[in-house]
């Protein structure tokens, strides 16, 4: 986010410098707006040019590309704007050198002047802004990283299935919450005859003495022998 803001600010500064450059002197006291775009391809002439058909036109297009690149957060579009400004400025220098025989830098206004410097600086600032921008993240990078849930070593069966979940391997419903086996309670068998406190308590009859026991029915008394 910070890189996009910083890169956009630098690119905007470059676009402003490029757009203002045609209103300054470029060569021999002649402003950049006096050079037609057609002169860059056909050769520079001494004729005057309208503002909308001058070298200002491609520079305005480059400024619009910078704004579009900021909206789309596209480094490629911003870099393309810088190449447009540098390309047209270098092309003008080539044509001006052909027309004048050579390019000179003079302090008396006879050579290259501040307008060319503004155009070159604007194109360079646009390229620097494109490099500073972080660009638009891809869809994979925008997806939030999901934390992996811990995987249980053994899946817990459904409630309507017999539970054979480790470590007990005991059948039963899957309701236990402890990994250790539950203690088994011994069935009650009556008072302990060895305990003096419970020795007098009534005791349950043995199964063989219980007449209600279907497994051990009561035996008839033996018949007397005469």
User: What's the pLDDT band for 196 if we cut at 50, 70, 90?
Assistant: confident
Specify the range with the lowest mean pLDDT, choosing from 6-15, 20-29, 99-108, 124-133. Answer: 99-108
Where are the extended beta strands (E) located within the chain?
25-27, 30-31
pLDDT 10s digits, 159-178 = 665 555 554 545 555 455 55
Q: Return the pLDDT at 52.
A: 81
Q: Return the pLDDT at 7.
A: 92
Specify the range with the lowest mean pLDDT, choosing from 113-117, 155-159, 221-225. Answer: 155-159
Q: Return the pLDDT at 141.
A: 53
- Non-local (6+) Cβ contacts of 224 within 8 A are none
Give the whole-angstrom CA distance, residue 119 versus residue 92. 11
Q: Return the pLDDT at 28.
A: 83
Q: Return the pLDDT at 159.
A: 62
Of the candidates 42, 85, 41, the residue with the CA atom closest to the CA atom of residue 61: 85
pLDDT 10s digits, 111-154 = 788 999 999 999 999 999 999 998 776 566 555 555 555 555 55
Of the candidates 175, 181, 178, the residue with the CA atom closest to the CA atom of residue 159: 175
Q: Return the pLDDT at 53.
A: 85
- Over range 53-79, report the average pLDDT: 93
148 token code pair: 């992996």
Q: Return the pLDDT at 111.
A: 79
- Non-local (6+) Cβ contacts of 126 within 8 A are 11, 14, 15, 18, 62, 66, 78, 79, 81, 82, 85
Q: Is the pLDDT of residue 216 over 90?
A: no
Q: Return the pLDDT at 1.
A: 78
Give 144-152 contacts, CB < 8 A, sequence gap 24+.
none
pLDDT 10s digits, 21-49 = 999 999 888 899 989 998 888 888 877 77
């Amino acid at each position: 986010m910070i890189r996009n803001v910083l890169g956009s600010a630098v690119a905007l500064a470059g676009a402003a410098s490029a757009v203002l450059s045609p209103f300054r002197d470029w060569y021999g006291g002649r402003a950049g707006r006096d050079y037609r775009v057609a002169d860059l391809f056909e050769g520079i002439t001494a004729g005057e040019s309208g503002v909308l058909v001058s070298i200002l036109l491609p520079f305005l297009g480059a400024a619009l590309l910078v704004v579009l690149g900021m909206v789309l957060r596209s480094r490629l579009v911003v870099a393309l704007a810088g190449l447009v400004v540098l390309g047209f400025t270098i092309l003008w220098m080539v044509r001006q050198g052909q027309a004048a025989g050579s390019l000179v830098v003079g302090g008396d206004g006879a050579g290259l002047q501040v307008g060319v410097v503004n155009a070159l600086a604007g194109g360079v600032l646009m390229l620097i802004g494109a490099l500073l921008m972080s660009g638009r993240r891809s869809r994979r990078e925008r997806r939030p990283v999901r934390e992996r849930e811990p995987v249980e070593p053994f899946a817990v069966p459904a409630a309507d299935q017999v539970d054979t979940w480790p470590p007990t391997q005991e059948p039963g419903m899957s309701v236990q919450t402890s990994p250790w086996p539950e203690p088994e309670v011994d069935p009650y068998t009556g008072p302990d005859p060895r305990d003096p406190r419970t020795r007098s308590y009534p005791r349950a009859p043995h199964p063989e003495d219980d007449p209600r026991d279907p497994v051990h029915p009561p035996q008839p008394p033996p018949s007397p022998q005469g």
